[in-house]
């Protein structure tokens, strides 16, 4: 599952196939122009799944799974990450030229967010 990046003398072409996703996307958004040192996200979702991918540049992410196990990784162009519900996401750092795309399984609903790490730990322990 994931995206594919094709690079040749004409430039770059990024592709992903929707049938490879474990959910049907309902929403797409992207993050770019993030100032140096500025993080994003810092929340979890109760029911929404997300498929995050670097369209350009590098993005450092940290994910906390239920039970507290953490994973950190850097997404480069064409790299992707599936984020199921009940996982905490911190977008830690962005390269100056980064563009992060996100496909989401649900429409925006603020009540669906878990905004406190304490609440997340309580719900997932």
Contact 39, 117 (CB under 8 A): no
Question: Residues 56-66: pLDDT tens digits?
Answer: 999 999 999 99
And the tokens for 48? Answer: 């929404």
Secondary structure element (H or E) that encloses residue 100, with its range: strand 99-104
What is the fold, at CATH topology level, of the domain defined by 23-124?
A: Jelly Rolls (2.60.120)
Question: Residues 82-102: pLDDT tens digits?
Answer: 999 999 999 999 999 999 999
Ranges of each domain in the chain: 23-124
């Amino acid at each position: 599952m994931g995206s594919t990046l094709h690079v040749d003398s004409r430039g770059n072409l990024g592709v992903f196939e929707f049938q490879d996703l474990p959910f049907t996307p309902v929403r797409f958004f992207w993050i770019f122009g993030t100032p140096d040192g500025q993080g994003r996200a810092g929340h979890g979702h109760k029911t929404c799944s997300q498929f995050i991918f670097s369209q350009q540049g590098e993005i450092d992410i940290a994910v906390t799974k239920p039970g507290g196990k953490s994973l950190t990784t850097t997404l480069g162009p064409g790299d992707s990450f599936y984020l199921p519900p009940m996982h905490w996401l911190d977008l830690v750092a962005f390269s100056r030229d980064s563009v992060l795309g996100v496909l989401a399984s649900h429409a925006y609903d603020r009540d669906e967010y878990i905004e406190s790490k304490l609440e997340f730990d309580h719900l997932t322990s």
